[in-house]
Structure 1
Amino acid sequence: MSCPICSKDPEPRYRPFCSKRCADVDLGRWMQGKYAIATEERPVVDGASDEFDDAARKFH
């Protein structure tokens, strides 16, 4: 398996990455929301619940 960021051979200390830099790049991507897992659920915005959304639709 190669480093998922730069494709170099992994360094045991930073496995699966080749360096601290590549590990930090990956962490930064996670923190910025660049990785996502597909789901069928709708995201909750500003803490709104589905009940609130349903009630709001009745008035539109």
Structure 2
Amino acid sequence: MSSAVVKCPTCSALVEWGEQSPFRPFCSERCKLIDLGAWAAEEHAIPGGDVEDELFSDDFPARHH
């Protein structure tokens, strides 16, 4: 049985999904860390609904994007 092949989310290199690719879905540790840095810098975000924003709005200072 062959493994699935996916594109690295950072550089689009093809990555075989299996034990031979320890950083999957990334092609390398470098690409994994680039993606992690983008999340930390808030370049990536998962949109929240108005309810979540209201529930937690007093817990954190206002963010300006």
TM above 0.5, yes or no, is: yes
**Structure 2 residues without counterparts, runs of 5 or longer:** 1-5
Q: Name 2:13's counterpart in structure 1.
A: 8
Structure 1 residue runs of 4+, over 4 Å off? none
Larger radius of gyration: 1
**Structure 1 residues without counterparts, runs of 5 or longer:** 47-60
TM-score (normalised: structure 1): 0.63
- 8 A Cα contact 1:10 1:19, kept in partner: no
**Shift of residue 40, structure 1, vs aligned partner:** 2.2
RMSD (CA atoms):
2.2
1:29 to 10, 24, 38: 38
TM-score (normalised: structure 2): 0.59
**Shift of residue 17, structure 1, vs aligned partner:** 0.3
Higher helix share: 1
Tell me the matched-pair count: 47
Higher strand share: 2
